[in-house]
Amino acid sequence: MKLLILAGGSGTRLWPLSRANQPKQVKPLGLPVALDPRLNWARRNPFGGAALSAGHAVGNSTTMLQQTWRRLRRQYRASDIFVSTTRVNVRQVQAQLPELKQANLIVEPVARNTGPAIALAARILSKLYPSEAVATVSSDHYIANEDKYLKVLRAGEKLLTARPGSLILLGIKPTYPEIGYGYIKLGKAVKTAGPAAYRVSQFTEKPSLARARKYLANGSYWWNSGLFIFQPAAFLKLMSQVAPSLARAAFKLKPVQVKAGSWRVTEKSFSALPAISIDYAVVEKSVSSLVMPAFFGWADVGHWQTIYSILAKQSNANVALGNYVEVNSSGNLVYSLSKRLVATVGLKDTVIIDTPGALLVCPRARAQEVKLLVEGLKKKKLHKYL
């Protein structure tokens, strides 16, 4: 199996920590990791100042990209792992992943969402490994149980061997009505020699809150983890059937390896691909996909509420990284990246992200709306804050 780490996202909902030239996947967020004694992982507050508040998860200085790489390296060779990122983030990726082989680095000239990113990678991998299993792995996902996670990857590869040409999704049991994920409706069971698998009866990307609540109550809908397993040649064929405009532009790409070894395409040819997620472009339209329910403790670290949920050991606990003191405050997430002391009195369920250049304060329940704030900064041409 080959692994494709997607590391080109901008992480706008984690502003102001995540910026265009330093997105969330290359920033230390203090998330807990499954420590491996063979690896020298620092266990400290990555933001300086005081350590994490007593009783809360221990911070660490590894980034989500590094955690993703090290998780996969427990089972796969470095030569089997590819990384797709944007030109602006290439140096950071290379610095953080010294094991990454240059021939396995795919560089997008500009960010065009996951549809073009995976289309470009599939074009390259179809030449190298047309029939081999490929798993797309996001660089911004939290995995609580790595052993189970790696076991599911092995099971997915076996399922693809038994049913070649399929697009395999990993489904996560929903715990609340999240509107930022895709929802998979489980169809008829598929006979397998391994873990349970089902046909995808329906796929809905980012439903309304009302619909998400119905899906949660129904019990037959599972979150899409964003991890797909496929054969590159078969995926390109599927893309031609359900996303012809994306496929036509993708087949015009002429990926080449530069002297350093990384794969690149021209900005003009890549910009011709529609900026669309793979979920909307392909997955939502595919009628022959399979889904494997997975249980390994998963979270898409897309906004501050998710980070709070991962780090908080109690529902009303304060989670603080950096210098923070409080009086009668609860349920707050505080990141202090500046030298300033953050202090709160009687504050509840609030996100406070203090960086040298910008300060964010918002209710935890409205963390999704940070993306709208970033869009507003773009409209006002406040680029120095992006």
Domain boundaries, the chain: 2-27+63-300, 304-385
DSSP string, 129-173: -TTS-EEEEETTEEES-HHHHHHHHHHHHHHHHHSTT--EEEEE-
Q: Which helix (H) or strand (E) holds 5?
A: strand 2-6
**Strands 324-327, 182-190: pairing kind:** unpaired
CB neighbours of residue 306 within 10 Å: 19
Q: Which helix (H) or strand (E) holds 217?
A: helix 209-218
pTM above 0.85, yes or no: yes
CATH superfamily ID and name for 2-27+63-300: Spore Coat Polysaccharide Biosynthesis Protein SpsA; Chain A (3.90.550.10)
DSSP string, 277-342: -HIIIIITT-SS-EEEEE-S-EEE--SHHHHHHHH-SSTT--EEESSEEEES-BS-EEEE-SSSPE
Q: What share of the chain is helix, strand, coil (3-state, %, to 5)?
A: 35, 25, 40
244: which residues sit within 8 A by CB, 6+ positions away? Answer: none
Quote the CA–CA distance of 69 and 82 in Å, as a whole number: 10
Quote the CA–CA distance of 345 and 244 in Å, as a whole number: 56
Kindly give the confidence (pLDDT) of every residue in the chain, 386 residues in length, as a single tens digit, with 9 standing for 90 and above.
999 999 988 888 999 998 888 888 988 887 776 544 333 323 333 333 333 333 233 345 789 999 999 999 999 999 999 999 999 999 999 999 999 999 999 999 998 999 999 999 999 999 999 999 999 999 999 998 999 999 999 999 999 999 999 999 999 999 999 888 999 999 999 987 777 899 999 999 999 999 999 999 999 999 999 999 999 999 999 999 999 999 999 999 999 988 778 999 999 999 999 999 999 999 999 888 999 999 998 988 989 999 998 888 888 899 998 899 999 999 999 999 888 899 999 999 999 999 998 999 999 999 989 999 999 999 999 988 88
